[in-house]
Amino acid sequence: MDWYMMNCELLATCSALGYLEGDVYHREPDCLESVKDLIRYLRHEDETRDVRQQLGAAQILQNDLLPILVQYPQDKVLFDAVVRLMVNLTQPALLCFGKVPPDATSRHHFLQVLSYLQAYKEAFASEKVFGVLSEKLYDLLQLDWEQRQEEDTLLIERILLLVRNVLHVPPDPTEEQGVDGDASVHDRVLWALHISGMDDLLKFLASAQGEQQWALHVLEIISLMFRDQSPEELAALGQGQAAAEHGEDTQELETLRQRELAERRARALQRPSRHSRFGGSYVLQGLKAIGDRDVVFHKGLHNLKSYSHDLGKETRRVPRRCQAAPEAEPPRRSARNVRLFLRHFCQDFLEGCYNRLMLLVKDQLVREKAQQHDETYYLWATAFFMAFNRRRGFRPELVSETVGVRAFHFIEQNLTTYYEMALMDKKEAVTWARRMHLALKAYQELLRTVQEMDRSPEQAVRDSSQVIKSNIFYLMEYRELFLALFRKFDETKQPRSFLRDLVETAHLFLRMLEHFCRGRASLVVQSKRVRRRKKPRTPAALAPQPPSAVELEELWAGLDPQIQACLQGEVPLPEDVVPFDAASETPVEEQRTEALLRIQGCLRDAQVPQALRLLRSARDVWPEGDVFGPPDAGPPEETRLLREILFAPLPWHAPPEAEELEEEEEEEEEEETMQVSEKEFNFLDYLKRFACPPVVRALVLLLRGYARNSPRTNHCAARLLHRLARDLHMEALLFQLSLFALFHRLLNDPAAGAHQELVALAKFVLGKFFALAATNKKAFVELLFWKSPAAVREMTEGYGSLREEEGAGRSRVPPWTPQEEQELRELYWKYKEVEGEDIIAAILAHLPAPGRTRRQVVKQLVRLGLASSAKDFPRERKGTHLVLWTQEQEEELTRLFEEFQGSEDVLGNIMKHLTARRSRARVVEKLLGLGLVSERKELYKKRWRKGHGPGPGTAGAPVVPAQDSSAEDRDSEEEEEEEDEAEEGPMEGHWAPEEGAGQGLAHRLHQEGLAGPLQWLENCLRRTAGDREEDGVSHPVPLVPLSEENEDAMEDRRFRALLRRLGLRPPANEQESFWRIPAALTPQQLRRAAASIAHYGPDPPGSPKGLLEPPRCPQDPTPEQLPAGLGSDSESEEPVPVPSLVQPGTKRRRELNSEDEDDGSSGAEPAPAAPRAEEDEDEDLEPLGRRKRIRCVEEEEEEEED
């Protein structure tokens, strides 16, 4: 269709608008109605946007609408209609089509609409048009909110939308091919906007108290105004930087000139002095052709370096899905007068509008009052204006709204959301990556601003930066962010500019973190760990409590009249009641118990007619035994039967479907809990997380364009590689062929003098490689692969070193010998054809020592090729389909219970000797139903506490029931501890211990072997009292146990009860890990508490003589330097975390120096860990019970890792 041939109705409507004669536009009488008709036509256009294209081809906006707008602004109705029409016509093409169409026809329509929009933008580059819009907007803003009508508010919004639409139009690359410094269409629109005063109105809207509703509109317009600008260049403008810009251009031209001269010299050397018509033919020895002969080269020797087998081949086409993501348009340098106007706008905006506008926008985003993805404008403004402020004198008070922990949290949340959506929404991954890039740039600018605050001459600003850094370095989310972005970087979805900003931000974060750790003896950070465990089943769902006899009597008194009415025929009985389930797997003869349960359920639910009908129907189905009464039973007999059924203690159980579901949940359902703890931070350990192939691959990819990268980018990438190679001593991590090819290109580059840092890195890595290749001949093959730290270690220390260490330490799985493999094959073929038997169970029963697990056998079968995968050997489900118990099974269960009633594990022995396999839950339920036990605790496995075990003279000692499952046992103990602590009640803030409090409990603990922890506690109390007398300042002091004996004591219930009696405070929230000596306790009270637990008898052998004082927070200042409010118990917005010198949840080995303990300095650190052999010797000296517990904990951790 030719869009220049307009539709007849549309042509007539456009002709009725008016005509332009010279510079004067004469409108027709039907001009207003014609404008409204055009709005109606646009509302009903098709998916090709035919009306929009016809109006664009006829240039209606340039020739009619803009002249009407300029010459008839006093006609309010016409002005409003014209603005409304122009807002619709200038609507972005993406909003019209939803997205860029994939097919060629729709894409053609999309590009056609885009070309018309670009023509509209050029027409709007007029001072008259923006002058009229500015005057109208000014008049509307002069009205108070009482005088402002709804039409006025709509017109303000439409004018802002029109300005937004015009600025949103992208440039036309075919038309705008000028150099930097020329005025583009966008520059001319911005200059017209500035001359008309529209920029001042935007600043007024951003700062006015009564114009808060336009905050997002203003921020969007401002972001479009600075779309092509760089904040660094704008900040440097007017500060004598013209010479610097000229110097940068000169240096770039000089680099290009050197490269051109080098190429010219190379060509001159290749050209022979005497021309020869015969170039010559040469045989390249050692380079095979297609056959077995050497390659014959028919060109001159000067072309030999460029020879390749790929010469003459067709270039392989890269699929679209594998092509690199397109780069965003680079910022261009606008005309100087435009840049000066934009610089002044930035200064005024920062001084009067930025903090207020960003507060309003964030409030609307948090309250979800904005449209979807409007947070991208907030992220852009944060990055742009903070960069401008940083380069333009840096005044932190101008950007205080977006500097803080809350700003870091908001940006990190959005960055994580974009990252997750890019992984899930594959079709829109490029769009999510673009949003992720905006968030990353905002995060980078926040870090640079905090770094600039460290250099501020004001002490308050430096203190604020320290608080911000302590919070962001403490939380794990901020530390793990860059690792996740590196590992999931995809060059087909994310452009190279994203990788550049990621490398620069990661380098900045590592540098700040390194400097933060360097000034402290230790740094405590938060650590999170996901723990999975089975969900406990609620007791109410397993065994509902039956009603008591009194309740049944009351229920029967209410049912008796209804039963008599049904027996006399006054109430009709239902006819569609069947006493059995024909579709059930249980035979009809065995469903009598189910029928009794249904009758009893109907009676308890007051459904008397259904119960009586079920009784009579069951009597007809099961007449034998007169279970449901004789065939000729009368009303008195039926009344007696119903009463007996109601009062009978029938075993209730779930239907088969529900029972199977419960068993599956019991076996399979798990719950995830996040365990938050504290640990001491080690920078090198954190840096080792970056020693992985995804990070190195991303850095190599970025350095491939070193000639186009900025010096800052090359420095950051080289510094990261240097950290991995030099600081971690993992030079072999960089032994990769693609990186070596990059080094070869760099060293042969004539302009390599401008990249001295990369050249030094290349020489260092190559030197290390050739030194290793002299001893390891396989190093050349290793160049083909990206390497992990384990492969690096094997490559440098020997290929069997890692396996030997694993075999000696962590891995205890014995290898399979050839005889064992042969026996495994024979057992497999022997039991493979046996039906109804678990093959793996049969093999395990006949395998000789050493004992193998089911997983080891399955893995070996797969390795030997006898099975394709572990799925060939599914585990037999522990649940069972058996629901009803036969009379013989009930008698067997009763007999087994009476036989093992006095044993330690009653339920375990019954499960071993039961003929029919049933789950533990079903057996417990049946025992409760038969009345053999009254509660579940009677079936728990009995165990004796330490020192109270069964023996001579202790037959009557009380036993503590324990569940069979260790996980349930631990959970029950933790619940008991929490209940005990809850019963003691919360501790008051100014509670003081009485004199002699806890003396009896301390004496008992001393007799039970806790003399060492008690002496440690006494020493801590006395030293804290001394410190408070010397300093005159009281602040909470954490009790940090540095020895394993003290850690075990802190987990003891009675020891914690002693701490409560002494007035010590437990951890207040999840951010605290240790008990604390409250600040309210005076030195006299602390000494009285220490005296109450003091032991004046002889010390037990092996008890520590000198004890370590609980250390203060290493990253906090000393008590004299603490400002008001820090270190108190009162809650603050950003609490400083309490350090933990040991990592909870892991096996800890701490050796304390007695001299350090005697010194009692708060900065004392634990001694370094001893070698492995010494640890083994120490473990042999530990008690048997403790070694067993440590071994159990290690096995549980290994199972969790598997």
Return averaged pLDDT per consecutive 10 residues of the chain, 1202 residues in all. 68 89 88 93 90 91 92 92 94 89 91 93 92 93 87 93 94 71 85 93 91 92 91 80 60 75 71 57 80 79 71 79 80 84 93 93 88 91 94 91 92 92 89 93 95 92 92 90 92 92 95 89 79 54 63 81 81 76 65 79 82 81 74 81 80 50 45 76 92 94 92 94 93 94 90 88 94 91 92 86 51 76 86 76 79 84 84 64 68 86 83 79 83 79 50 38 40 41 41 63 80 86 85 80 80 83 79 80 86 61 37 38 35 37 36 37 38 37 41 45 45
pLDDT of residue 876: 62
Segment holding 234, helix H or strand E: helix 231-236
Cα within 13 Å of Cα(1083), Cβ side? 13
What are 222's two structure tokens? 């401002």
Helix or strand holding residue 533 (H, E): strand 524-534
For residue 20, the cross-strand partners are 25
Whether the full predicted model's pTM is greater than 0.95, yes or no, is: no
Q: How far apart are CA 295 and CA 987, in angstroms?
A: 90
pLDDT at position 630: 79
Structure-block tokens of residue 437:
């890039």
Determine the Cα–Cα distance for residues 955 and 244; give it in Å rounded to an integer.
94
Q: What is the pLDDT of residue 34?
A: 93
Tokens at residue 516, please? 């933060």
Looking at 1032-1103, list the stretches that DSSP marks H as alpha helix, in order from N- to C-terminal side: 1044-1050, 1053-1061, 1083-1092
CB 25 within 8 A of CB 67: yes
pLDDT at 279 (0 to 100): 61
Residue 464: partners with Cβ closer than 8 Å, 6 or more residues away: 396, 453
CA atoms within 13 A on the CB side of 540: 0
Question: What is the pLDDT, as a whole number, of residue 966?
Answer: 40
What local confidence, expressed as pLDDT, does residue 759 receive?
Answer: 94
What is residue 531's predicted lDDT score, i.e. its pLDDT? Answer: 66
Q: What is the SS3 assignment for 1201? A: helix
Taking Cα atoms as reference points, which of 125, 117, 121 lies closest to residue 192?
125
Q: What is d(CA 148, CA 151) in angstroms, rounded to the nearest whole number?
A: 8
Question: Which pLDDT does position 652 carry in this prediction?
Answer: 62
- Say if CB 204 and CB 141 are below 8 A apart: yes
1029: which 2 tokens? 């007398």
User: ω before 850 within 30° of 0 (cis)?
Assistant: yes
Residue 250's pLDDT is: 76
CA pair distance 128, 25, nearest whole angstrom: 14
CB atoms within 10 A of CB 1169: 12
Q: What phi, psi does 988 have (nearest 5°)?
A: -70, 155
Residue 1063: the pLDDT is: 84
For residues 152 and 215, give the distance between their C-alpha atoms in angstroms, rounded to a whole number: 17
Rounded Cα gap, residues 979 and 986, in angstroms? 12
